[in-house]
Structure formats: C-alpha cells, structure tokens
Amino acid sequence: MDAYLEAVWRGLRQTAPISLSHRNATALAGELYGAWAGGEDREKTIGFEHDGGEHASGVGWRRLERVEVDPEEWRGVVRRLDNRDDDPTTYAQIEGVDDLTRWEKSFGTIIDRLLLAKGVCKVDQPTREILLTAFYQAMRDAAESRKRNAEGDYAPDDKAKRFPAWTSAANASSPKVPLSGLLEAWWIEAKATGRKPSTYESYASTVAAFVAHLGHDDAARVTTADVVAFKDHRLASVNPRTGKPVSAKTVKDSDLSGLKTVFGWAKMNGKLAANPAEGITIKLGKPRKVRSKSFSDSEAVTILRAAIRLKPGNERPETFAAKRWVPWLCAYTGARVGELAQLRKEDIQCEGRHWTIIITPEAGTVKTNEARMVVLHPHLIELGFSKFVQASPPGHLFIRPSPKGDVLGPLQGLKNRLAEFVRTIVHDKNVAPNHAWRHRFKTVGLDVGIEHRILDAIQGQSPRNVAEGYGEVSIKTQAAAIAKLPRYRVGK
C-alpha cells in the first residue's frame, strides 16, 4: 500500500502532461483485459477500487458495473457480459463502441484511476487516443475470451500474452526538469538578493551528490522517499578529506537545507508542484563537549611561535606569507580566517595614528556581506606586518586568483593549508584549527573588560538586539579596546 500511495502522490505532483509509449498504453489496457477475461475468477477481479481484493498489479478491484459510465450501450454490454446465460453472440455488440468520444465516456474513469496508480496524473492528447484505442481493443478481446468460455472453451488464453509488462512512467517522455538547472536558476535570483557565493558552492556540492545518488538529474521524478534515502546515505558516508563520518549537523544544515531551499524556490516559481524535501529534518542531540572551543594560552603561544619562526619552503610565497601572518592576525582581530586570507594590499590602510584592515566582500566573501574596518594591534606593526604589506605587489596578499579571476577556489585551498599547518602544532581534534581563534579573541577580550558590543563589531557579529544596531563602533573606540589586549610573548 505504501508503494501505491507513493505512486499516487507522485502523479498528483505532476505539473505537465506526459507521453506514454504505445507499449505502456497496451500494458495498462492489459490490466483491464486481465480483469474481464478472468474466467471463473472474474467475480473477484472485475472493476477497480481498493476493497481488500488483489489484482495482479497489487491494486484492489471492485465490480466494474459500479463504475459510473454514461452510454446505455456500454451498460447493456456489461450486464450481458456478466450474465453466463446470455446468448454468446451478444459479445460481439461491444464492437459497436467505435468512437473515441464514446470510448472516453466508457473507459475514461478506469484509465484515469489506473494511470494514477502508476504515478501518472496527466497524459497528452495523442497518448489519450492511444490509450482509448488500446482499452477498446482489450475489452473486445476480453469479450471474445468470455464468448469462448461460454461455449465451453477454456483453453490457455493466447491473447493474454500480447500484453507487455508496464515499465516505469519515468521512461515516459515527460518534460524533464534538471535539478542542476533549478540550482542555477535559483542562484541567479539569490545572487541578486545578496546571497553569498559560499552558499551557492555548498548547495552545488549537495546537488551534485544528490544527482549522483539518484542516478538521474530530473527534479520532476524526485520523491520524498528519494530525499530520505539520500539523507540516510549521507549519514552513512565518510568525508574523503577528513576520513570521518559525515556529521548529522552537516547533513541537516548543508544537505537538507540546500535541497529544501532549491526545491522550495522551484515550487514557489511554478517549476515543480511540490517540495519533496519539505518536512525532512534531523533532530540533533547536544554535542559532546570535552574541552573549550578556544585555544589555550599555551596552544596559542605555540602556534604563534611556529608562525613567526617559519622558514620559506617549496610552497608558493603567498602560502608562506599566510602561514606567517594569518595566525597573528586571527589572534589580534578575532576575524574569520577566510576574511583575513583574502586581504588585498589596498585593504590595509593607515588612519591617522592607527593601522587598519578593511574586511570587505569585494575581496572575496564575508559572512555578513558587509564591509567593516578593524584596528590592528600595535604589536602587529612592531612585528613588521605593515612593512610586509608595503613591500607586496598590488592585489591579494595571501592567495593567487585563477586566470579567470576566481578567488573562492584558491581561498578554500589556502584555508585548508592553514588548518593543516595548525594541526601539525596542536594535535587535539576537539578544537577547530582555524575557528578557535574567534572563540579565544572573545574570551580574552571579556577578560580585559572589553564590552560585548565592541567585540561583536570588531569580529563582524550581528547585534544581539535592535538597540545595539544603532550607532557605530568608531576607530577611536576600537583602538582603545584593542590596546587592552595583552601581547603574546613568544620569545625569539
């Protein structure tokens, strides 16, 4: 019954008429033939509607004469076919139904119900005519079979062999709705409304994995069961980069969120009749916490010492410079590692007595999609960061954009290199190698008495209430707060 209901819902989600092959039309008519040419068992097989009886298709049936049909000729034929004492010659009267309009009145209801049981709600006009013809022919042959039975001939029914098996309606020539195409159409609108490229990249990765799991790229064929199966598949998968199982949080917040968004947009814009991912989620338990999310004092000092003592190797100069400076920038600004890794020479400026960095989506990507200016700690200038910037060529300091100007790909690669660098120093996998700096900055800032609102402004975090959204944290206020941060003593 579950499969039957799933097929019905799939049919109801259908948005446009489809074409069926002549083979499938004949297969569907074969179900009517099987119901009427059932010999001694016809009492429990004729008709259509679930009533506890089982037809070969798995669909329950009822007596056909209870189905509403209009032509008097058809009612007469039905009564005669169901009466064993009738004159056998009356079976030939079914051939009087030879007009498509009259066939529609006779067979239309049965065809519609059988189609819906196969997951098809609408067919185009040529298919409808093929179906009506096939059903008329099936009924004519069934009448002949009944006639033979009435004459005492119960030999094997060769006519039954002409009906093929039904193949999936997915093979019908329905208008294809590529899932990858929906993603691109969604992105055109989402990009115009300010969604970040990183969101698109995440959704694109999910869609690619979903298409690979499905084995096709037709959103119109996707069912709720498909999404659930993909969710289960992802939960059982291993991240090839980390070697760890994909987390439930990733599946919920990335995979399911991406599918819900794209399918929801398609439904809202009339490209799909329903969102098959709607309502599917994962209830996350409270994650186990075995340590602080921030680096400890000793871990922070060890990382910064390794960074300042780093010697150039075989890697790109930009990668070496990132390993040298980004950890220090993270320690003194609390910015996201990607925001710092994408800095350009023109983003570092001297405002009066204070050196600042401008974190802007023009350089790559910013989570809030808003630019902000952050005052640098004097220790960074003493260490030579401003001199490094002045000696650098124009453009990005730590990444080398692709020939086509792409920044996001190289940026992700650099973030991975930075994480690997920290992992060689801090081996505890219970702390995030890049993000732990943000937690530490907030902790240290609160320890020295910096107000929450000022720390949030420096780190680019949203105000906690409407009132905090008024006014700006000026360079003067930032500089006074940054000066409170203790220097990291790493030795020579």
The reply to whether 234 and 348 lie within a common domain is: no
Confidence of residue 94 (pLDDT cuts 50, 70, 90): very low
pLDDT value for 131: 84
For residue range 10-36, list pLDDT tens digits in order.
Answer: 555 555 677 777 888 888 888 777 776
pLDDT value for 65: 34
Structural domain boundaries, residue 15: 2-164
The reply to whether 95 and 195 lie within a common domain is: no
Mean pLDDT of 404-424: 91
The reply to whether 466 and 388 lie within a common domain is: yes
Confidence of residue 129 (pLDDT cuts 50, 70, 90): confident
Structure tokens at 25: 């039309």
Q: Across 57-61, 439-443, 466-470, which has the greatest mean pLDDT?
A: 439-443
Q: What mean pLDDT is reported for the chain?
A: 80
The reply to whether 368 and 477 lie within a common domain is: yes
pLDDT value for 142: 79
CATH number at residue 406: 1.10.443.10
**Residue 86 pLDDT > 90:** no
The reply to whether 149 and 196 lie within a common domain is: no
pLDDT value for 11: 54
Cα angle at 285 between 290 and 430, to 5 degrees? 25
Q: Across 136-150, 241-255, 447-461, which has the greatest mean pLDDT?
A: 447-461
| Percent of the chain whose pLDDT exceeds 90 | 42
Alpha-helical segments (H) within 215-291? 224-235, 248-250, 257-268
Sheet holding 372-375, edge to edge: 348-351, 354-359, 372-375
Count Cα atoms within 13 angstroms, Cβ side, for 19: 6
**Residue 273 pLDDT > 80:** no
Residue with the bigger pLDDT between 118 and 210: it is 210
pLDDT value for 238: 87
The residue type of 402 is S
Q: Is residue 274 part of a domain?
A: no
Least-confidence region, from 190-199, 257-266, 327-336, 423-432 = 190-199
| Percent of the chain whose pLDDT exceeds 70 | 81
pLDDT value for 436: 95
Mean pLDDT of 439-462: 93
Q: Alpha-carbon torsion 137, 142, 148, 153, what sign?
A: positive
**Residue 42 pLDDT > 80:** no
**Residue 186 pLDDT > 60:** yes
Least-confidence region, from 178-187, 292-301, 368-377, 463-472 = 463-472
Predicted TM-score (pTM) of the model is: 0.59
Q: What is the DSSP string of 380-429?
A: HHHTTHHHHHHHSPSSBSS----TT---HHHHHHHHHHHHHHHHTT---T
**Residue 146 pLDDT > 90:** no
Residue with the bigger pLDDT between 275 and 1: it is 275
The reply to whether 324 and 454 lie within a common domain is: yes
pLDDT value for 52: 40
Interacting residues of 233 by C-beta distance below 8 A, sequence separation 6+: 213
**Residue 149 pLDDT > 90:** no
Q: What is the DSSP string of 348-367?
A: EEEETTEEEEEE-TTSS--T
Q: Which residue has the tokens 């006009």?
A: 125
Q: Is residue 218 part of a domain?
A: yes
The reply to whether 361 and 323 lie within a common domain is: yes
Residue with the bigger pLDDT between 462 and 1: it is 462
Assess contact for 460 and 359: CB atoms under 8 A. yes
The reply to whether 195 and 306 lie within a common domain is: no
pLDDT value for 70: 36
Q: Is residue 237 part of a domain?
A: yes
pLDDT value for 66: 34
Q: Across 25-29, 186-190, 364-368, 467-471, which has the greatest mean pLDDT?
A: 186-190
The reply to whether 318 and 454 lie within a common domain is: yes
How many domains is the chain partitioned into structurally?
Answer: 3
Residue 240 is given by DSSP the state: T
For residue range 56-85, list pLDDT tens digits in order.
Answer: 333 333 333 333 333 344 444 444 444 434
